[in-house]
């Protein structure tokens, strides 16, 4: 039997919370195998990310009406339906409830269908649906570990601003490969000349994307390539390159120079090659399966003019676009990642030529993986100095580094530091 949009969304949600699947991977797999229209595929995506980003809040809304604990799939069906009722203006409540009852009946018979129907009817009749929890952990569905870390680092006021900003859907950010390209329904970024912003749209299906005139890349990450001061002939190492957004951006600055792009996984290296082909810079990039913590052992001493370490990190800055990230963190993760980040920088530093430039970036907002890494690297590498970064938007500069939190410009959270080898 052909699955409709809500059934597929329920399958994906049960995969995420029942099997610990990654949201984007499960969505891709389930949508690829479906016969849904593009509009319905977008609806499934909105349903899944809506529940993932509001799970604690939805559970709070439904809790008073559960006289018994439903099976996990049935509870997820309730959350899926309450999300439509409360937060999707274009979805009629009657359609959401009717479809939930049908799914429950198909899945487990009339008794479960009656239970789902009764819970949803009681919820709709109650004033509780118009109330709001007072604690941020529930209101923003943010796990206590991350919430506490945010408050410690940013204070209550800014944490509230960050959390509120994450409630607003991400916009689409494009990089102009052809500087003269005109893209309908987009506007210039205030952060970098290379970026265009759009409120929505499937730009991967446009002729400009297929022709390699534009690519999809967050505007904050587009700040990285210019910092490497590429004149054209440099030998560059991109130590953690996949999927290749920054790699191909750096390649745009090259004439006779070349980039070696590393990753641990062949399927990710293939993504870099595909991106490079589409953007017409494949002749400037060589991919290589290698461990970034073994750069010196692989390439030897002082081989590269420029090195980019876009380090593996907790990815907390990406929560708006990847809301399931919030459920995958343990307190030990942050320090473990810091050790790996320092190990990569230490190995890369030996393969950088004297007077060479090394840029370190992450897509997280926590100090352990950002400023603490910079301080510890400089303490143990006296042959390196920090190069202070400047930008006309002074509020994204802190301690000579770029540090963007999501509420400032509605971008991903991002960090960039720059070093020079003496």
∠ CA 279-284-286, rounded to 5°: 105
First to last CA, the chain: 66
Q: Where are the beta strands (DSSP E) in 209-323?
A: 214-216, 235-238, 258-263, 285-289, 304-310
> Residues with Cβ < 8 Å from 19, sequence gap 6 or more?
none
**Residue in 237, 363, 389, 401 annotated catalytic:** 363
User: How does DSSP classify residue 206?
Assistant: S
Question: Is 310 annotated among the ligand-binding residues?
Answer: yes
Question: Is 346 annotated among the ligand-binding residues?
Answer: no
> What is the phi-psi region of residue 155: left when phi exceeds 0, alpha when psi lies from -120 to 50, beta otherwise?
left
Question: Is 135 annotated among the ligand-binding residues?
Answer: no
Q: Which of 114, 121, 51, 62 is nearest to 87 (CA)?
A: 51
Task: Give the Cα separation of 385 and 378 in Å (integer).
Answer: 7
Q: Which of 368, 330, 338, 371 is nearest to 146 (CA)?
A: 330
Question: Is 148 annotated among the ligand-binding residues?
Answer: no
Question: Is 291 annotated among the ligand-binding residues?
Answer: yes
Question: Is 243 annotated among the ligand-binding residues?
Answer: yes
CB 306 within 8 A of CB 228: yes
- Three-state SS sequence of 104-155: HHHHHCHHHHHHHHHHHHHHHHCHHHHCCCCCHHHHCCCCHHHHHHHHHHHH
Question: Is 401 annotated among the ligand-binding residues?
Answer: no
Annotated active-site residue 363? The verdict is yes
Active site residues: 363
Residue ranges of the binding site: 240-246, 263, 291, 310
Residue ranges of the binding site for S-adenosyl-L-methionine: 240-246, 263, 291, 310
């Amino acid at each position: 039997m052909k699955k409709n949009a809500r059934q597929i969304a329920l399958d994906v949600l049960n995969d995420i919370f029942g099997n610990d699947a990654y949201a984007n991977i499960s969505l891709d797999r389930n949508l690829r195998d479906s016969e849904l229209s593009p509009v319905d595929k977008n609806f499934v995506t909105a349903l899944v990310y809506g529940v993932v980003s509001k799970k604690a809040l939805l559970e709070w809304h439904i809790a008073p009406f559960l006289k018994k604990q439903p099976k996990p799939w049935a509870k997820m069906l309730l959350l899926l339906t309450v999300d439509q009722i409360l937060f999707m203006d274009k979805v009629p409540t009657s359609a959401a409830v009717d479809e939930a009852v049908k799914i429950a009946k198909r899945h487990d018979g009339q008794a479960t269908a009656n239970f789902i129907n009764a819970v949803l009817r009681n919820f709709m009749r109650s004033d509780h649906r118009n109330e709001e929890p007072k604690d941020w952990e529930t209101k923003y569905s943010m796990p206590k570990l991350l919430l506490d870390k945010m408050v410690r680092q940013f204070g209550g006021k800014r944490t509230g601003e960050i959390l509120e900003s994450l409630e607003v859907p991400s916009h689409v950010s494009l990089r102009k490969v052809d500087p003269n390209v005109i893209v309908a329904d987009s506007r210039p970024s205030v952060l970098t000349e290379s970026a265009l912003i759009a409120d929505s749209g499937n730009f991967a299906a446009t002729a400009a994307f297929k022709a390699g005139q534009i690519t999809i890349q967050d505007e904050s990450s587009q700040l990285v390539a210019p910092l490497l001061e590429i004149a054209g002939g440099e030998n560059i190492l991109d130590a953690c390159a996949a999927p290749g957004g920054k790699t191909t951006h750096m390649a745009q600055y090259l004439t006779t120079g070349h980039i070696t792009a590393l990753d641990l996984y062949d399927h990710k290296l293939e993504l870099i090659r595909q991106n490079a082909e589409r953007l017409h810079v494949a002749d400037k990039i060589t991919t290589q399966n290698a461990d970034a913590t073994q750069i010196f052992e692989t390439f030897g001493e002082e081989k590269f003019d420029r090195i980019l370490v876009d380090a593996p990190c907790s990815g907390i800055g990406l929560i708006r676009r990847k809301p399931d990230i919030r459920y995958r963190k343990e307190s030990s993760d942050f320090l473990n990642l810091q050790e790996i980040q320092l190990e990569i920088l230490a190995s890369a530093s030996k393969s950088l030529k004297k007077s060479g430039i090394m840029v370190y970036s992450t897509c997280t907002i926590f100090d352990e993986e950002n400023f603490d890494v910079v301080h510890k690297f400089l303490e143990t590498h006296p042959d390196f100095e920090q190069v202070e970064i400047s930008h006309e938007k002074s509020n994204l500069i802190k301690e000579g580094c770029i540090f963007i939190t999501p509420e400032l410009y509605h971008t991903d959270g991002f960090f960039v530091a720059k070093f020079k080898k003496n």
